[in-house]
Amino acid sequence: MNKNLLDSGKVLMLLTLFLAAGVSGCNSGTKKASDGNAEEEEFMAVMDDETQQKLQTAKRIFYSLPSPIETAKILHSAGATYDESLLNPIQNQSGYITNLDMALNLGIYTTDLSYASLFDQSQATLSYIEAAKNMADGLNILDAINEETIQRLEDNINNREIIIDIISETLLNSSSYLKERGLESTATIILVGGWVEGLYIATQQVGNDPIENNKIVERIIDQKLSVDFMIKLLKEAEDDPDAGKVLADVQNLKTTFDKIEITLGENTPVVDPETNVTTLKSSSSHNLTKPVFDELVNKITDLRNSYIS
Amino acid sequence: MRKGILLVSLVALLVSLPTSANAQCKQFAKKICKVGLTPYQHDGNYHAALLIEGEEAELYKTFYSDTDYRIGVCGAGNLSDIEFKIVDSNGKVLYNNRYEDFEWKWDFRLESSQQLKIVVKVPVADGNIEEPAEGCVAIMFGFKDD
């Protein structure tokens, strides 16, 4: 028999043995040792009690930030109008070289994409998905937005529902890809970029309108509720200099949001027996003043422009 | 040279095993949990993790007034019925699926924008603590216009 074939066979056998050991090693945490001496079994029994205690008290904590789709949607529902001049120009993308630039502007362009699609702006939708794809490619987020996705978008360019679904799938793919690789900080930065863009569009839409009884202003105030979550997520990644930079930016915004007090009344859940939908009945109020609103507008404008330039 | 290539391949394979488990979690979230959100539109966020029986998880999110939401909490088939409850910022429990036959979803709307906490617990099957199972648990959100 050929000597090389014999050598390969031996290596293959070793490989198989290693694999078997590796797979069983991955599962060993969930199985009790079936063999072994009494001392080891006693240790395992104690360990199981400790493990059980830890499991009972262990708690994983997650924070969900507003996605670009949700941000665009609440603006649309609040009566925002379409103004393409507010969006980040497509031409700017050639200047985004660092991971930070690309992550922020992936979020920004995805918000722009969501906003354009909600207003049935076909050409802008196609332009912004291409820009978002270029940012995702620059960050090596494989298959977040591939050619098939763009083709599907083009084929359904007049179907808002399908377009939004495509955008949500793109976000899901990007987010999961990054989290699977321990790049949660990049995923967070993308969402922060999108959130800032949404706030920018909203504040610009208000313009010189009165801030009282203004639905868009109400949505801007609502964003205060997500700032602390953003800070918690960014602090978890503070070792990442990019996350540290964005954290400082959000903390600066927080100093202005902290001047707005939101008072929430008690929730009373009421279930509709026909639809089985629960309505959380409650009232809320806030104390936003024009000077504070103007301060917020200026900060958001400066921050957003620093991200896109 | 050949042995070197094989060794590198082995290392790559072993390193990829946890990523593979997470990738399966993503597929579970996408193909099973997300599909169940219809007719609500998925918000694009990804919250899925491998949890062990007995483990708890909390997720904090801001929900906006005058918007219809669906929260879906899905557990992989090897896990017992997942328990979840919704708690507001004052600690009031607004919903607990334990009293709804462990329904996996909850549809609601709010009159006031606010932060809510979703508390998820993977129960231990039949009090078995010897070999806790591990499986993917996904928490997904959908919304729709008024």
Q: What is the 3 state secondary structure string of A75-131? A: HHHCCCCCCHHHCCCHHHHHHCCCHHHHHHHHHHHHHHHHHHHHCCCHHHHHHHHHH
Preferred mutation among A176, A191, A232, A268 to probe B, highest tally of B CBs within 10 A: A176
- Cα–Cα dist A207/A205, whole Å: 5
Tokens matching residue A273: 């027996």
Task: Please give the single-letter amino acid code of residue A196.
Answer: V
Residue A42 clears pLDDT 70, i.e. is over it: no
Residue A12 clears pLDDT 90, i.e. is over it: no
- Cα–Cα dist A42/A24, whole Å: 21
Q: Across the interface, which of A58, A62, A229 has its CB nearest the CB of B47?
A: A62
From the CA of A82, how many Å to the nearest CA of chain B? Answer: 18
Query: Given CB atoms, is A19 within the 8 Å cutoff of chain B?
Result: yes
Burial class (CB in 10 A: 0-12, 13-18, 19+), B42: buried
3-state secondary structure at position A225: helix
Residue A23 clears pLDDT 50, i.e. is over it: no
Taking an 8 Å cut-off on Cβ atoms, the answer to whether B30 and A172 are in contact is: yes
Q: Which residue of chain A has the CA closest to B108?
A: A278
How many CA atoms are closer than 13 Å to the CA of A9, on its beta-carbon side?
6
Strands of the sheet with B56-63, listed across from one edge: A59-64, B56-63, B114-121, B83-88, B93-96
Complex ipTM more than 0.90, yes or no: no
- pTM for the model stands at 0.82
CB pairs under 8 A between A and B: 194
From the CA of A225, how many Å to the nearest CA of chain B? Answer: 6
- Cα–Cα dist A75/A89, whole Å: 20
Query: What DSSP element (H or E) covers A169?
Result: helix A160-180
State mean pLDDT over A247-276: 97
Residue A287 clears pLDDT 50, i.e. is over it: yes
Residue A19 clears pLDDT 60, i.e. is over it: no
Q: Which B residues, 77 through 96, put their C-beta within 8 Å of a C-beta on chain A?
A: 88-90, 92, 94-95
Preferred mutation among B111, B118, B140 to probe A, highest tally of A CBs within 10 A: B111
- Cα–Cα dist B62/B129, whole Å: 35
Q: Which residue of chain B has the CA closest to A279?
A: B109
> CA distances (Å), A257 to each of A36, A75, A136, in order?
61, 19, 31
Query: Given CB atoms, is B103 within the 8 Å cutoff of chain A?
Result: no
- For A305, residues 6+ apart whose C-beta sits below 8 A from its C-beta are none
- Cα–Cα dist A163/A154, whole Å: 9
Residue A46 clears pLDDT 70, i.e. is over it: no
- Would you place residue A115 in the very low, low, confident or very high pLDDT band (cuts 50, 70, 90)? very high
A36 vs B96, higher pLDDT: B96
- Cα–Cα dist A218/B24, whole Å: 40
Q: Across the interface, which of A58, A176, A281 has its CB nearest the CB of B111?
A: A281
Residue A271 clears pLDDT 80, i.e. is over it: yes
Query: Which residue numbers in chain B have pLDDT < 50?
Result: none
pLDDT at B27: 83
Taking an 8 Å cut-off on Cβ atoms, the answer to whether B64 and A181 are in contact is: no
Contact A242, A100 (CB under 8 A): yes
Cα torsion through A44, B83, B29, A62, rounded to 10: -80
Contact A154, A145 (CB under 8 A): no
Beta strands of chain A (E only): which ranges?
59-64, 262-264, 268-271, 278-281, 284-286
From the CA of B74, how many Å to the nearest CA of chain A? Answer: 16
From the CA of B82, how many Å to the nearest CA of chain A? Answer: 15
- Would you place residue A83 in the very low, low, confident or very high pLDDT band (cuts 50, 70, 90)? very high
Residue A250 clears pLDDT 70, i.e. is over it: yes
B132 upstream amide cis, omega within 30 of 0: no
- Cα–Cα dist A18/B7, whole Å: 10
Cβ contacts (< 8 Å) between B10 and chain A: which residues?
A: 15, 18-19
Q: Which A residues, 241 through 300, put their C-beta within 8 Å of a C-beta on chain B?
A: 264-267, 269, 275-284
Query: What DSSP element (H or E) covers B140?
Result: strand B134-144
State mean pLDDT over A251-255: 98
Query: Given CB atoms, is A219 within the 8 Å cutoff of chain B?
Result: yes
3-state secondary structure at position A271: strand
Query: Given CB atoms, is A176 within the 8 Å cutoff of chain B?
Result: yes
What b/e readout covers A158-195, taking b as 16+ CB neighbours within 10 angstroms?
eeeeebbbbbbbbbbbbbbbbbbeebbbbbbbbbbbbb
- Cα–Cα dist A181/A276, whole Å: 39
Q: Which residue of chain B has the CA closest to A20?
A: B14
Query: Given CB atoms, is A141 within the 8 Å cutoff of chain B?
Result: no
pLDDT at A56: 47
Query: Given CB atoms, is B138 within the 8 Å cutoff of chain A?
Result: no
Cα torsion through A89, A91, A96, A100, rounded to 10: 20
Cβ contacts (< 8 Å) between B113 and chain A: which residues?
A: 218, 222, 225, 284
- Cα–Cα dist A119/A262, whole Å: 31
pLDDT at B141: 96
Mean pLDDT, chain A, integer = 85
Residue A43 clears pLDDT 60, i.e. is over it: no
